[in-house]
Every structure is written in C-alpha cells, then in structure tokens.
Amino acid sequence: DAGITQSPRHKVTETGTPVTLRCHQTENHRYMYWYRQDPGHGLRLIHYSYGVKDTDKGEVSDGYSVSRSKTEDFLLTLESATSSQTSVYFCAIYGGRNTEAFFGQGTRLTVV
C-alpha cells in the first residue's frame, strides 16, 4: 500500500470554529491534492500543491486554505467551518504524468 495517511479520520466540530486536516505521505511525490466528496457530485478539487510552498486553487476553494511547508505534509484548513463543509475529504498523492495516483482513506467531517 502507498504511504499516505490522513488525520483525523473522523471529526465533529461546531460552526465557526477553525479545523485543520492533515495529509502525510512517505512516497516523496511532488503533487498532493485535497478533494471533497458529496453525494451526487463525485470528487471535487479544493486545492492542490505541486511542490513545497507551491499551491493553487481548485474548483471549490472558497472557505479553505492549504499549506505545504515540507514535501510529506499537506494541510487543509477550514478557517471558520460552516455546515456546507460537512463532507468526506480525500487527500491524493501523485508523481506526475503517467504514474500512479494514490488516495488516502478519507476524513469524515461533520459541522454542527
């Protein structure tokens, strides 16, 4: 199995609180991604990173920020959680071009 770990796996938080999700890899892959998955929408890209301190927005980036201070860690922060951010969040790592992309097991976030 590819070395990718998401934490926490489950979290319940209150509206308005900040939340940080962590994605950790041991594969030394350049590209890292954060997606959310909601019923009927499939996986939608939030933010991605193409190297340390190099990040860019995806299609649903509003309300989210990311940081990548070292190759192995990609953090997703909800500055002030809202109920619409209740979702399952997946991290992915990718070596680029025609290499394999691997996904974490997901983090189920509930904002109440």
Partner 1 sequence: KNQVEQSPQSLIILEGKNCTLQCNYTVSPFSNLRWYKQDTGRGPVSLTIMTFSENTKSNGRYTATLDADTKQSSLHITASQLSDSASYICVVSAKGNKLVFGAGTILRVKS
Return all residues near 39 (Cβ < 8 A) that are at least 6 apart: none
Strand pairing partners for 88? Answer: 37, 108
Core vs surface per residue 42-58: b (16+ CB within 10 A) or e: eeebbbbbeeeeebeeb
Q: Is 90 in the site for partner 1 (CB under 8 A)?
A: yes
The three-class DSSP label of residue 1 is: coil
Total residues at the site for partner 1 (CB under 8 A)? Answer: 26
Question: Which residues, 33 to 52, sit near partner 1 by CB under 8 A?
Answer: 33, 35, 40-45, 48, 50
Among 3, 54, 96, 110, binds partner 1 (CB under 8 A): 96
Task: Give whichever of 13 and 50 is closer to partner 1, judged by the CB atom.
Answer: 50
Structure tokens at 89: 């969040």
Among 5, 31, 73, 77, binds partner 1 (CB under 8 A): 31
Positions that interact with partner 1 (CB under 8 A) = 31, 33, 35, 40-45, 48, 50, 56, 58, 90, 92, 94, 96-98, 100-106
